[in-house]
Amino acid sequence: MSTAHVILGLLAGGPRHGYDLKRAHDERLPRAKPLAFGQVYATLGRLQRDGLVTEAGQDREGGPDRTSYTITEAGREHLDTWLSAVEPPAPYVTSALFNKVVVALLAADADRARDYLVAQRVAHMSRMRELTAAKSESGASVGDVVAADYALGHIDADLSWLQTTLARVADLQKEVTT
């Protein structure tokens, strides 16, 4: 996810200052890693430098001055281009899960690889239960449910991979260590 694109998307609804952008990000992208204020302001600085946002004014609501920003026409075009681009499936396997199994096997330790796969399955199942429970909590928004469904789909795929790999550890060890 590009923080710059999310901020542009939030600004497409009208001018906002950094505090509002951070709050809107954290509310609108439930279960995503919350943005740090420094990240918001650094991103706004880069977007302004690149002509994608501009200052819209100063607000003072019982505290320090807050600069509001608005998206420029170039920013809208940039956002539209990004929204229209299809994300290609990842071309490389860069999962820590896969890497740990291969490294354990490189260390000629099939038992360690098996133990890791079993422990990882337990951790994935626990997270799956947490997400399933979060979906049925009172007050869970549609955004919370959709985010949980997305995470559950990935965890389910990982669980399938973990099970398949567990059955193939001996063959994989032969391949990796020869």
SS (H, E, C) the chain: CCHHHHHHHHHCCCCEEHHHHHHHHHHHCCCCCCCCHHHHHHHHHHHHHCCCEEEEEEECCCCCCEEEEEECHHHHHHHHHHHHCCCCCCCCCCCHHHHHHHHHHHCCCHHHHHHHHHHHHHHHHHHHHHHHHHHCCCCCCHHHHHHHHHHHHHHHHHHHHHHHHHHCHHHHHHHHHC
Strand partners, 71: 53
The length of the chain in residues reads 178
The rounded distance, in Å, linking the Cα atoms of 74 and 102 is 46
From the candidate CATH numbers 3.40.190.10, 3.40.605.10, 3.40.50.300, 1.10.10.10, the one assigned to the domain spanning 3-84: 1.10.10.10
* 44-100 tens-digit pLDDT: 999 999 999 999 888 777 667 788 999 999 999 999 999 888 777 766 666 788 888
Rounded to whole angstroms, what are the CA distances from 59 to 18, 70, 151, 168? 11, 14, 38, 61
**What pTM was computed for the model?**
0.70
Mean pLDDT of the chain: 87
User: Tell me: the pLDDT tens digits for 11-36?
Assistant: 999 999 999 999 989 888 877 788 89
Say which residue the tokens 């059955």 belong to: 167
pLDDT at 107 (0 to 100): 78
pLDDT at position 140 over 60: yes
Neighbours of 60 (CB within 10 A): 8
CB atoms under 10 Å from CB of 20, counted, come to: 18
- Token look-up 């943005």 returns 35
| Cα 135 from chain centre | 18
Structure tokens at 26: 């954290």
Give me the residue spans of the domains in the chain: 3-84, 96-177
